[in-house]
Amino acid sequence: MRTASIERKTKETNIAVEVNLDGTGKYNIQTGIGFLDHMLEQISKHSLIDLTVKAKGDLHIDLHHTTEDTGIAIGEAILKALGDKKGIKRYAHALIPMDETLSRIALDVSGRPYLVWKVKLKVEKLGEMDTELFKEWFQGFAQAAGITLHIENIYGDNSHHIIESCYKGLAKALRSAFEIDPRQKDSIPSTKGTI
């Protein structure tokens, strides 16, 4: 089983994360931010990654530190659980419709973190979250997990649908990229011999 636990403690946040990449999509998410909890539950459910997140942060200031650091901590746990990445499919993409919305996510478990974010939202807040924080979450996640991540909302009107389609798309792409390819289960998917 590809599992990992990490703790990330700063003066701003205290976060514990557990992941099982070969799970069934069980989750226990407690960040103190309702909308973020809902999005992280989507990642677990649709990637089949078992995910436990316990976060305490300086929410009395704003939601920025907890949002960003949660992305970083989950990314760190996933990177640790992947180990040497032997046998993974590495590349994946997802095209996710949600009512009037369509979003495209493509990723490479490359060891070279990069985020392309082509998402425009019409509102400044979803629930209590500033919508600019979603890019911060995906940036922190991609950086810590060592993933090249491209996210594009092709069209859509409802900001909730747009963001949820991005998280669901990430989940589906992670599930595909992390799967072990039976044809190369004992090799690293790179001509370099390492990722």
pLDDT value of position 83: 97
Closest CA to 54 of 127, 11, 5: 5
Q: Which two tokens stand for residue 47?
A: 């990637």
Give residue 1's pLDDT band: very low, low, confident or very high (50, 70, 90). Answer: confident
Identify the helix (H) or strand (E) that includes residue 71.
helix 64-82
In the chain, what are the domains? 3-178 (3.30.230.40)
Model confidence, pTM: 0.97
Q: Is the pLDDT of residue 32 over 90?
A: yes
What is the rounded average pLDDT of the residues 93-120?
A: 98
Pairwise CA distance, residues 64 & 129, whole Å: 9
- Residue 91 contacts residue 159 (beta carbons within 8 Å): no
pLDDT > 70 in the chain, percent: 100
Q: Which two tokens stand for residue 17?
A: 């994360």
Is 117 strand, coil or helix?
strand
